[in-house]
Amino acid sequence: MNKIPLTLAGAEQLRVELHRLKTVDRPNVIAAIAEARSHGDLSENAEYDAAKERQGFIEGRIKEVEGKLSNAQIIDPKLLDADGRCVFGATVDLEDLDSGTKVTYQIVGDDEANLKAGKVSVSSPIARALIGKYAGDVAEVQAPGGVKEYELLDVRYV
């Protein structure tokens, strides 16, 4: 399996989720199944079916998170030395050349992406356009509404 890039914070989020799934969610669903079983006939027991379905989801998510963590390539942005080049984990200040709007994004792994928090996935069109660029460069991003141009104002590793 390919390595999955994660920032230090993203890996910690996955570890916290895995811990919660194993120590809280899994025992809760096991208790719910036992409770539903005690109601008798399982063939027409909606609570039992729902609990079993939830158990399947939890077990699947546990396997998924364990797989991601075992294949993770954890990158600490503070330790990067990319000489001002935009790379995975970098935080970039951009200016939209059409509107003059300024935004700040950090390029993170797919699981960490959260546009409201200013984190864009490394596989997103904007991140792909920014990778390898330096402050002062202009990046052309193929957006759904057409091509947008952004000037990189600053590249930081925080």
Average pLDDT across the chain, whole number: 91
The domain 77-156 having CATH identifier 3.10.50.30: the answer here is yes
What percent of the chain is modeled with pLDDT above 90? 74
* Contacts of 81-87 spanning 24+ positions with Cβ under 8 A: 81/157, 82/155, 82/157, 84/134, 84/135, 84/155, 85/132, 85/133, 85/134, 85/155, 86/130, 86/131, 86/132, 86/133, 86/134, 86/152, 86/155, 87/131, 87/132
The domain 4-75 having CATH identifier 1.10.287.180: the answer here is yes
pLDDT tens for 38-88 read 887 777 788 899 999 999 999 999 999 999 999 999 998 888 878 889 999
Domain ranges of the chain: 4-75, 77-156
pLDDT band at 2 (very low <50, low <70, confident <90, very high): confident
